[in-house]
Amino acid sequence: MISNVGIAQSVNVGTFDKQKGSGFPGDSYKMDCDAWFSYEAIQNGLMHFYAITVPAEADIYLWDFGDGETGTGEDVEHFFDPALGNSFLVSLTTITYDSLTQDSCMANYEEEVWVYNGTDCVNFFNYSTEDSITFTFYGEAYPDAFYYEWNFGDGQIDTGQIVEHTFNPALADVFIVSLTTLSYDSLYNDTCLSFSSQPVYLGITPECEAYFTYEQNPVDPFTFSFFDSSTGNINTWEWFFSDSTFSNEQNPVHVFPGPGEYIVCLTVFNDSIFCIDTYCDTIIIEEIPLVAGFNFELDSLSQTPNKYHFFDISTGDPETWLWDFGDGTTSGEMSPVHIYDESGSYLVCLEISKNTFNGTVTDSYCELITTPDYFDFGGVTYLGEFPMNNSGITSDTGMAFLYRKQGTDIAPVDTVSFYQYGYYWFAEVLQGEYIVKVKLTPGSEHCNDFIPSYYENSLFWKEADPVELLDSNNYAMDIFLTEIQETETGIGSVEGFVSVEGDCLDGMDLSGMTIILFDDSDKVVAFTETDGDGLYSFGNLPFGGYSLYAEASGLSTEGVTISINEGNYMLNDVELTVKCDNSVGYPEYAYSGLSIGNVYPNPVTNNFKIDIESDNNSIVKLCIYSITGQKVIEKEFSVTSGTNTLFVNASALQKGSYLLSVFSKDKKLNAFRKFVK
């Protein structure tokens, strides 16, 4: 079986008002004449115009193409420069001379011709045969045609969308078969005439055959990649897309304007050999189905119990969202945050909708959410063998820091102050693993005698015993602060600074890090805290060997060894390094007069917003980090007192999870938020 297909060339027959002509001034009125024209697209920008005159053919045809160019002749071709516009007002003037009456008649007609992005129609046909003599022809048109007329090139014609014709091999080996269709475009109230032709060979095969395949982009269903699969020696490719666009690339990528049915045709050429063929196919793009869906995440680092972030993951580009959280409250946000007043199980439902050509479409999705348990816990802080403030005479105040353990990292959750009976206490803490750190506040009677320590009695967070909250029996999580050992005094001194390596948050506060000094027998002989520049110092040290460590919650540390002797008893610029180990570390932070809302929409598309409440006018820095801790976006914003909405361009971000952090002017980390794209 042999089959083939042809490409269409469209002829637009517009809805026009014909203008009658009259004789020249001074002549008697003896003849009326009318003129108008039709046209077809030869290729992108090249149009063929056909003049029509009644009651007789005109003697003179004058064309004005509306782009500063003119022409003459009954049918003319003209190329329109796309830089000059999409449509042009084309006018035709004809002069007809009647030799019998010796009367002249002039007629005018003009029409706006859409060369680019205007109304257009196309037809094509394929055929099949069993014996290379009798052929069945199948016509197609876009928009759908109401009239099909065939010319088989052998003097025979027929009508209908599907016809059968038998050729006489004695007449020729090849016949040029043409199809003319007439369609009506209701959008433009215009009738469109399409014409296509192709050679039909009786037992002869052309030296090339057009064919193509295509792939639809799984992320963007309106984007298609087309691949030329034609055979033969081809050097020219012409693609036609029925959304009135063209391409001369061999393998183009085309974006269709929306759902619908489109005809795509490829014509291949080689002018030096007998090679010309066309192949067409129909592309059907379905309306993206509207399917509701959502993810949710418990805010495990919030001090507010049962705080959930809901993320819309619906498909089909919904326009409205209605959330029912199962506790009598609702939300119309795309990705809201909701706090449940009480723990329990709740049926959360999301209903989405959008307007389509077929009316409003809706879909819904529900999921049962069971909130986790929250527990209170605490313990006594011991100074050596005795609880803090056990005698009622001493004046010590403590601070307890709570960190949630997440794999090998920790993140800050809460901070409390305490003094009575040395008992610290955290209320309504989400079940899970935590690390607790306690230190005496400056001004406390024993603040210089006991080093900040983790539960149960560790000096370093990586060696601390985690507190595992699984029930309510967590009231004796006692912490024993490490006491400084008494040593001899001397003339030695050490001064230095802390530096940060790795993917830590830019602008991290270096103050308040604990610097611990060990002697050569690994006894703690002194400790101090860094200032705002990360500087530290020790004095009155006797000769001997020492080791120094910087302890910062959430960061890795590396110690250094030093020796103080008669020849080197004043050491300066001793550097201590903390590292982030390619993860995001969170230093201890204090309220800085700023609070931030949630990223919305979340998941993020190309842009997102975030609200910031500020107590005063300030400068804030917003940074975005990948899941590996790499900083990918950094911007500064000016905020004023009150509510501010920051707009962030995230189009350059790849798909994935991200951490957003905001720094106040004093470089204290105020808050962070997670989002996905």
Specify the CATH number for 380-483; select among 3.40.50.2300, 1.10.357.10, 3.90.850.10, 2.60.40.1120: 2.60.40.1120
What pLDDT digit, counting tens, does each position of 306-358 carry? 989 898 888 888 899 999 999 999 999 988 999 999 889 999 999 999 887 56
Cβ contacts of 533 within 8 Å, gap of 6 or more: 497, 510, 511
Other CB atoms within a 10 A radius of the CB of residue 192 amount to 25
CATH 2.60.40.10 residue ranges for the chain? 12-114, 122-201, 208-285, 294-370, 492-579
The answer on pLDDT for 8 being more than 60 is: no
pLDDT at 185: 65
| Residue 511: burial class (beta carbons within 10 Å; 0-12, 13-18, 19+) | middle
What's the CA angle centered on 266, arms 254 and 155, to 5 degrees? 145
- Would you say domain 208-285 falls under CATH 3.90.1150.10? no
Q: The CATH number of 122-201 is which of 2.60.40.10, 1.10.1740.10, 3.40.50.720, 3.20.20.70?
A: 2.60.40.10
Grade residue 589 by pLDDT with cuts at 50, 70 and 90.
very low
pLDDT category at 189 given cuts 50, 70, 90 is low
Q: Is 535 exposed, middle or buried (0-12, 13-18, 19+ CB in 10 A)?
A: middle
Q: Would you state the pLDDT for residue 168?
A: 92
Q: What is the pLDDT of residue 304?
A: 82
Query: Band of the pLDDT at 631, cuts 50, 70, 90?
Result: confident
pLDDT of residue 13: 38
| Number of Cβ atoms within 10 Å of the Cβ of 114 | 18
pLDDT tens-place string over residues 233-256: 898 898 888 777 788 899 999 998
CATH code of domain 294-370: 2.60.40.10
Mean pLDDT of the chain: 81
CA dist., res. 378 & res. 630, Å (int): 36
Helix or strand holding residue 647 (H, E): strand 642-649
Q: What is the pLDDT of residue 254?
A: 93
Is residue 281 classed as helix, strand or coil in its secondary structure? strand
| Rg (the chain; Cα; Å) | 41
Say which range, 187-196, 278-287, 383-392, 598-607, has the weakest mean pLDDT: 187-196
pLDDT at 618: 76
CA–CA distances in Å: residue 72 to residues 18, 40, 61, 76, 110: 20, 17, 5, 7, 15
Q: Where in the chain is the domain with CATH 2.60.40.1120?
A: 380-483
Q: Which residue has the higher pLDDT, 14 or 258?
A: 258
In the structure, what pLDDT confidence band is assigned to residue 65 with cuts at 50, 70 and 90?
very high
pLDDT tier, 186 (very low <50, low <70, confident <90, very high otherwise): low
pLDDT band at 131 (very low <50, low <70, confident <90, very high): confident
Mean pLDDT of all residues in 141-157: 89
Average pLDDT of the segment spanning 192-220: 80
> CATH classification of 12-114 is 3.20.20.10, yes or no?
no
Looking at residue 594, what is its pLDDT?
A: 65
Give 413-449 pLDDT, tens digit per residue.
888 888 888 899 888 898 889 999 999 998 888 999 9
Q: How confident is the model at residue 394 (pLDDT cuts 50, 70, 90)?
A: low
Average pLDDT over residues 190-202: 78
What tens digit of pLDDT does each residue of 268-294 get? 888 666 677 888 888 888 777 788 989
Indicate the range of 10-19, 51-60, 171-180, 264-273 predicted with least confidence: 10-19
pLDDT classification of 407: cutoffs 50, 70, 90: confident
Query: In this predicted model, which residue has the larger pLDDT, 576 or 205?
Result: 576
Tell which wins on pLDDT, 379 or 1.
Answer: 379
Dump pLDDT digits (tens) for 75-101: 899 988 877 877 888 999 998 887 776
Question: How far are the Cα atoms of 178, 182, 603 from residue 12, in angstroms, in the given order?
Answer: 18, 10, 47
So what's the pLDDT on residue 298?
A: 86
CATH of span 492-579: 2.60.40.10
pLDDT digits (tens, 9 = 90+) for 112-124: 787 764 445 777 7
The C-alpha angle with vertex 100 and arms to 95 and 102, in degrees rounded to 5, equals: 50
Question: Which pLDDT score, from 0 to 100, does residue 92 have?
Answer: 92
Alpha-carbon distance 466 to 464, whole Å? 6
List where CATH 2.60.40.2550 sits in the chain.
594-676
> Could you tell me if 267 and 210 are in contact, meaning their C-beta atoms sit under 8 angstroms apart?
yes
How would you label 273-311 residue by residue, b for 16+ Cβ within 10 Å and e otherwise?
eebbbbbbbebebeeeebebebeeeebebbeebbbbbbb
Q: Which CATH number is correct for 594-676, 3.40.50.300, 2.60.40.2550, 3.40.50.1000, 3.40.1360.10?
A: 2.60.40.2550
Ranking 46-55, 103-112, 354-363, 619-628 by mean pLDDT, the lowest is 619-628
Q: Which residue has the higher pLDDT, 452 or 116?
A: 452
pLDDT in tens, 591-628: 445 677 778 887 787 888 888 877 777 778 888 876 55
Could you tell me what percent of the chain has a pLDDT over 70?
85
